[in-house]
Amino acid sequence: MDWREEFCDLGFVVFDRLLPHDLIDAHVAEVTALLRDHGANDALSLSQLSMTADDALMVDMLALHERSENARHLIFDRTAQALLRQLFGGQPALAMARSALWERGNMRAHVDTAFRSPEPPYALCRTWCALEDIHPESGRFYLVPGTHRSLVPRLCDEVLAERPELFALFEQIEHEPQSWFRLRNWGWPLVNAKVPERIDGNAKISFDLNKGDVIFFNPAVAHGTLACADPSLTRKMMVCEWTMEKDMRLQRRAPAEDFLELPFQQENLIDIRPILAARGAMR
């Protein structure tokens, strides 16, 4: 199966050893220093920051990802960018980037977007990057394959049927794209409230991720973290969100075949067979 078809069908693809370790080490050192400057030396001290202090940390964390040369080289890794261009059929644009050294385990199943097309070409992809070898007992990241195609559209339809005022916003999106932001702000929490009880726990897939591995996933796929069995463990990660630079418009649901027929520029393509072969040998 072409990896883009795999992404379209399952909602995610995992690439092993994608990011260089030297850039990861430099980035983690900068993130660690920033957290210490804000009084966060571990998960406990981070959780005890006041709302004002946490807001200030968030602002500085976003600035670090925007301005740091190390972070920019890591985020805009050549191979990762080529894969995103191949996925989108166009130039990717960074919408968000953040890093964490202590992600909490047992995060409830949720989705990161709703009421947008659940498949490409709606041109939205998240990358979850392992900044260290992820220990199995640290509360590993998991995904529920295919939920972007089946569960999430169904939950969105339920919410729209339950809330006529949200359905009215949905109907306006084609002519007033800004309506999506209001729909998202009001409707997304209602969709997420339904996700945990509607997924099959046996369908969760977690990963043995090592430093430099990256998961490309559709943010409409249900995901979360398993319970952390050892609170002393860290789970260093960076997550980025990408959209298409050439087309920032919001689109309604589109069939998968439209995505597979997108034109791809030859210069944007790279041979990922060695990456996939390495993944198969490691899994």
Q: What is the pLDDT of residues 230-275, one digit of tens each?
A: 888 888 999 999 987 654 443 333 333 333 333 333 333 344 444 4
If we measure between CA atoms, which residue out of 106, 105, 99 comes closest to residue 132? 99
State the span(s) of the chain assigned CATH 2.60.120.620.
Answer: 3-18+77-153+193-282
Q: Which residues of 15-45 are buried (b: 16+ CB within 10 A; e: fewer)?
A: bbebbeeebbebbbebbeebbeebebeebee
pLDDT band at 212; cut points 50, 70, 90: very high
- pLDDT, tens digit, for every residue of 56-76? 999 999 999 999 999 999 999
- Provide CATH code, domain 3-18+77-153+193-282: 2.60.120.620
Compute the distance between CA of residue 223 and CA of residue 42 in angstroms, rounded to an integer.
25
The predicted pLDDT at position 281 comes to 47
Instruction: Indicate whether 114 pLDDT > 80.
Output: yes
Q: What's the rounded mean pLDDT across residues 45-51?
A: 91
Q: What's the rounded mean pLDDT across residues 138-145?
A: 92
Structure-token pair, residue 90: 């166009």
Instruction: Indicate whether 130 pLDDT > 90.
Output: yes
How confident is the prediction for the chain on average, in pLDDT? 83
Q: Alpha-carbon dihedral of residues 56, 217, 111, 59, nearest 10 degrees?
A: 10
